[in-house]
């Protein structure tokens, strides 16, 4: 057993001991301890369309996620899981079927563009959809603890953060740290045929996916067939999400 694997197993055992793997978020939000464990509740994975069950494979979950985007594109939104009953249900716990790392851009509201509601998606957003240690930790929680079967990095057309990285000019404050995280993707995309910015945005999605897969926690879930990590590109003009590989 490698050192990495050992640490994953240990951390998982610790989570099991605390009851966190019963798909209850109380352990992190209320502080890990006996009191938090006694308040945990199992919430079955449920969405309005009944298109996902606890037995669904990661591939089936991805299909359902993309179907929600298709409804949004075609202006056939069902606005699932937004009623009072769902509010009451998820107040007790959560089991989001997908975790998504998306850009903070105001034009990329994740739940809306995938036509999903309360408790369906575990969403982490920052400028440039970059996987920093905090983001990786959050998404380890969304997948390992909460049980998401799909982990998507979602970039988008005309991303300001990637545009800044491509321009390579000085930026104020701590915006520079975002640009630095994207720069390797800009380098990779250089010389590719087609639109330079779009290429850099897609290369950035792939780069951040690599960073996530570098997490031993996420790598083990993939190896066990419990999780698939995918890249997405959101077209601001058509509202369509296409897969990036
Ligand atoms: Zn952006």
Q: What percent of the chain clears pLDDT 90, i.e. is strictly above it?
A: 78
**Which has the minimum average pLDDT: 31-40, 95-104, 188-197, 233-242?**
31-40
User: In the chain, how many domains are there?
Assistant: 2
- Measured in Å, residue 81 CA sits from the centre of ligand 1 at 27
pLDDT at 228 over 70: yes
Indicate whether 34 and 66 sit together in one domain: no
pLDDT per residue over 7-44, tens digit each?
Answer: 455 444 445 443 444 444 444 433 333 333 333 444 44
- Measured in Å, residue 74 CA sits from the centre of ligand 1 at 23
Domain containing residue 136: 44-244
Residue 50 banded pLDDT, cuts 50, 70, 90: low
- Measured in Å, residue 128 CA sits from the centre of ligand 1 at 5
- Measured in Å, residue 154 CA sits from the centre of ligand 1 at 9
Query: What is the mean pLDDT of the segment spanning 193-207?
Result: 98
156, 242 Cβ separation under 8 angstroms: no
Indicate whether 143 and 176 sit together in one domain: yes
**Summary mean pLDDT of the chain:** 86
pLDDT per residue over 142-190, tens digit each?
Answer: 999 999 999 999 999 999 999 999 999 999 999 999 999 999 999 999 9
The protein residues having their C-beta less than 5 angstroms from ligand 1 (an ion) are 103, 105, 159
Q: Which residue has the higher pLDDT, 12 or 196?
A: 196
Q: For the whole model, what pTM was predicted?
A: 0.83
123, 102 Cβ separation under 8 angstroms: yes
- Measured in Å, residue 84 CA sits from the centre of ligand 1 at 32
Mapped onto helix, strand or coil, the DSSP state of residue 244 is: strand
Q: Which residue has the higher pLDDT, 73 or 29?
A: 73
- Measured in Å, residue 11 CA sits from the centre of ligand 1 at 33
Query: What is the mean pLDDT of the segment spanning 74-90?
Result: 95
pLDDT at 197 over 50: yes
Q: What's residue 51's pLDDT? A: 79
Give the closest residue to 185 by CA, choosing from 218, 159, 207: 207
Indicate whether 175 and 147 sit together in one domain: yes
Q: What's residue 175's pLDDT? A: 97
Indicate whether 87 and 5 sit together in one domain: no
Give the closest residue to 112 by CA, choosing from 104, 103, 121, 125: 121
d(CA 205, CA 217): 20
Look up the CATH number of the domain holding residue 161: 3.40.1050.10
Indicate whether 20 and 37 sit together in one domain: yes
- Measured in Å, residue 242 CA sits from the centre of ligand 1 at 16
Beta strands in the chain (DSSP E): 98-103, 121-126, 150-156, 228-234, 241-244
Indicate whether 8 and 77 sit together in one domain: no
- Measured in Å, residue 184 CA sits from the centre of ligand 1 at 16
- Measured in Å, residue 126 CA sits from the centre of ligand 1 at 8
- Measured in Å, residue 191 CA sits from the centre of ligand 1 at 22
């Amino acid at each position: 057993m490698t050192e990495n694997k050992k640490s994953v197993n240990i951390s998982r055992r610790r989570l099991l001991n605390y009851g966190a793997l019963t798909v209850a978020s109380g352990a992190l939000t209320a502080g890990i301890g006996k009191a938090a464990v006694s308040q945990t509740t199992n919430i079955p994975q449920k969405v309005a369309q009944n298109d996902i069950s606890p037995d669904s494979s990661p591939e089936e979950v991805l299909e359902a996620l993309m179907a929600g985007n298709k409804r949004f594109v075609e202006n056939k939104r069902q606005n699932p899981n937004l009623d009072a009953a769902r509010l009451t249900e998820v107040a007790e716990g959560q089991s989001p079927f997908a975790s998504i790392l998306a850009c903070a851009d105001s034009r990329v509201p994740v739940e809306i563009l995938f036509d999903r509601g309360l408790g369906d998606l575990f969403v982490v957003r920052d400028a440039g959809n970059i996987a920093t240690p905090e983001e990786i930790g959050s998404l380890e929680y969304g997948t390992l603890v909460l049980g998401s079967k799909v982990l998507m990095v979602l970039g988008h057309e005309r991303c300001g953060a990637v545009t800044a990285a491509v321009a390579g000019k000085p930026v104020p404050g701590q915006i520079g740290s975002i640009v630095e995280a994207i720069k390797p993707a800009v380098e990779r995309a250089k010389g590719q045929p087609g639109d330079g910015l779009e290429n850099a945005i897609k290369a950035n999605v792939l780069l951040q996916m690599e960073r996530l897969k570098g997490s031993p926690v996420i790598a083990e879930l993939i190896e066990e067939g419990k999780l698939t990590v995918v890249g997405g590109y959101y077209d601001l003009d058509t509202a369509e999400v296409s897969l990036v590989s």
